[in-house]
Structure formats: structure tokens, C-alpha cells
Amino acid sequence: MIEVQLLAAQVIGEVLAGANLTEILRSLWQAHPRLSPQQRGAIQDISYGVLRHYGQLEAILRKLLNKPVQNKPLYYLLVAGLYQLCYSQAPAHAIVDHAVSSSRKITRNPAISGMVNAVLRNFMRQRVQLLDQIKTGDDVARHSYPQWWIDKLRQQYPQNYEAIMLAGNEHPAMILRINPQLASISQYQAMLAAHNIESAWLWGNALRLAKPVAVEKLPGFSEGWVTVQDAGAQLAAPLLDARSGMRVLDACAAPGGKSTHLIELAEDIDLTVLDKHEDRLNRLKENFSRLRITGYHLACGDATQPAQWWDGQLYDRILADVPCSASGVVRRHPDIKWLRRSGDIHHFAQTQIAILNALWPLLQRGGKFLYVTCSIFKEENDTVVDRFLTMHNDASRLPCFHEAMHNGQLLPKINHDGFFYALFQKN
């Protein structure tokens, strides 16, 4: 347990210094191969949990400290301990004892371990009062988002910005996509029930599990019967409406969830999957292999530079799930809240319009082009779409009909993350 708290504090520190949480955890597992599944799970829970509630935890810690803690590893150890006391089921005395022991591995100064003990025990005594103070405190402490993010959501979604942030701080549900070529929804639900796994149908081929399970416990997972994919992301393939015999491009395709869905819905399409990162394409190939998918064309290249990879033949359908702020998926990637800067949104929008402009000439007349982001910021969504339409008079926007959407915007809720969809047709 001592190692768990220290390693979690290390992960938190590296993320808040600018590193990607997923990559840091992957590197940590490689560096510490003897960690048990339970230890890995605890490190992951603390790391994700601290980043979900970092604004609140920092505000609490400020109230408990007499003076700022300059030692960063020690500071993040205190934050990790506070998170466990607030949100975990572990005994409070064990959390404090382990934090005190861990502090001795950071510094030999006995006064430091005494400070750690005092701070965490003071929180235990004042917990109700402190949490009440936070509820009426500043925006960052109450919502655990950067101030610029809160201001933007308040301005763009004045009626429901608090609900959006609350949803982003929740644990994500585990959503499955059933392969319709191998099983119906009812058939697969019966298979899950036989394994004592409770599920509920959402829409299309999407099932929500009552409780997350390890993928190896999902019946037929290794045989390609089912894929783990957010319900919001599962709307892309049906909206694109690819049909048998069509030539289809999935740009920015890795890790391949939407590509594999396209093939499950229209098996004999002529599909090209494109991504600019070789390592991400390797993961895409693994997903295609598990689902027994063959015959697709793999291309490594930049979507804004078709001359690097395009064979000159036009496409009937193009899917562009473009790089974005990922502001709609922060419950799965809570590090994004603290890694993004307000100026990043403009740069993403510039990249997005560049991709749209570069890929539009590759579409057949009458063909359809689906623009997708996992963002809820209008600068990356409606503003980009409006700008694109003013630049291309041969483009018209088609409606995206779905009960959960409003003008193509899907806001994060319990059953899905936040996504934006805009469907264009070439006149």
C-alpha cells in the first residue's frame, strides 16, 4: 500500500507537469512489472480520482496547511491521501498511516511525517465543515475545472453548464457495441445474463453494463462478438450510412472503433483507414485482428496532406473524427481538464478546418462527409461548420436525427460522452 500511494503521487505530479495520464500509467506498468492487479487498480483509482476532483482537493488542502508545501512529491501525496479519505472505502486510519509511512520515503525529516499525520487527521475531524465551505467557495473548488473552462461553458450553455461539468466528473459507464453480424441485442443480453452480467439496451447496438467487468469476462470478446465503445461514438457509423460496394475513407481512424463499426454495418465496403501515427495504427491493426476483419487498406499519413497517401480515386463516404480538445470525454480522461489551455481551442479549430478543406475534394458528387469531434466547445463545432460552409458552395449540411442530439451536439450524460456530428453532402 505504501508503494501504491507513492506511485500514485508520482503519476499525479507527472500529469500536472504536462504528461498524458494514459501514457504515464503505461510506462509505470512497464517499469514495475511486479505490481499486482489490485495495486495497479488502486494506483489507477487514486490517479483518476485526484484529477477528477483536483480543484476541490487543492482548496481543502489550502485550508488545512499553515504554509504552502514546496516539496511537490509530498504535496501530491497529501492530495492523494485527501482523495482516499473523501472518496475511497479504505479505513481512514490505514490511509493516514500509509501516507505517513510514504512521506518518510520522500524525506527523512521527522517533522514532515508529523505534518502529514496532522493535516490528514485534521481533515477527518473537520470533514463536514470543510466540504460545506467548498460548496460555497470559488468556481474551481466547487466544480474541479479550470476557471477558463467554467467561464466558456457558462457562456455557451447558460442553462446546463453545471450539469455538463457534473457529468464530466462522474465515473464513466461501461458501454458495449454488439456485432450485428454475430448476435442480436437480445441474444447477447441472454449470454451476459448467463454470466450474471446485468445490462440495459440504449440504442442501436449499444448495451450499458450495470457494473464494469474485465473484457476477458465478456462472452465472445476474443471472437469479435462485442467491442467496448461509448454509446455516443456508436452514432458515427449509422450517420455516415455507408453501403455495400462503396469506397469509404476513415481519416484519423486509430484506434479503429468507428472503422470496425462501419464494416459491421456494411461488410463489403472498400475501406481505407488513415492515421498519421504509426504506433496508433498498430493498435488499430490489433482491433481489426480480434474482430476478424481483413481486406481494408491501411495508410499512414497526414489528413491535411492527401498527396502523401491518396491513390487518386474519389470516395463515396468520408468520416473525419478530427483532433480536438476532447472536452466531451473528460470523465474517461480527467487529465485533459488540467492539460488544456484556453489558447489550444483556436489551434484545434485551425487544424479541423484544414482537414475538412483537404479532404473535401476527395469526395464524389452526391457523396457524404461526416465531421466528428468529441468536444462540447462551439469554436470546434458550430463555428468550424459555419466557416466550412461559407468556403464551399458545393456543400450542404444534412440533418443528424437522434433523440439525444441538438443540432448535432451530444452533451455528456450518464449513458454517453459528449460528441458533435455534422453531416455534409457534396451537391
User: Which residues form the catalytic set?
Assistant: 374
114 CB contacts (<8 Å, ≥6 apart)? Answer: none
The answer to whether the peptide bond before residue 255 is cis (omega within 30 degrees of 0) is yes
229 CB contacts (<8 Å, ≥6 apart)? Answer: 175, 176, 177, 206, 257, 261
Read off the amino acid at residue 342. S
The phi and psi torsions of 120 (rounded to 5 degrees) equal -70, -35
Order of strands across the sheet that contains 175-178: 199-201, 206-209, 175-178, 226-228
Q: How far is CA 346 from the centre of its chain?
A: 20
Ramachandran class of 227: left when φ > 0, alpha when ψ lies in -120 to 50, beta otherwise: beta
Cell numbers for 221: 470478446
Cell numbers for 280: 496508433
Sign of the C-alpha dihedral, residues 42, 43, 47, 48?
A: negative
Per the document, the length of the chain is 427
Read off the amino acid at residue 310. W
Q: Which contiguous run of DSSP H or E holds residue 131?
A: helix 110-135
The interaxial angle of helices 161-168 and 147-156, nearest 10 deg, is 130
CA dist list (Å): 376 to 63, 175, 243, 379, 411: 33, 20, 30, 9, 7
Asked if 116 and 101 touch (Cβ cutoff 8 Å), the reply is no
| Alpha-carbon torsion angle 257, 260, 262, 264, nearest 10 | -130
Going by C-alpha positions, the residue among 55, 101, 60, 94 that lies closest to residue 77 is: 101
The phi and psi torsions of 300 (rounded to 5 degrees) equal -105, 115
Give the angle subtended at the CA of 267 by the CAs of 263 and 272, to the nearest 5°. Answer: 50
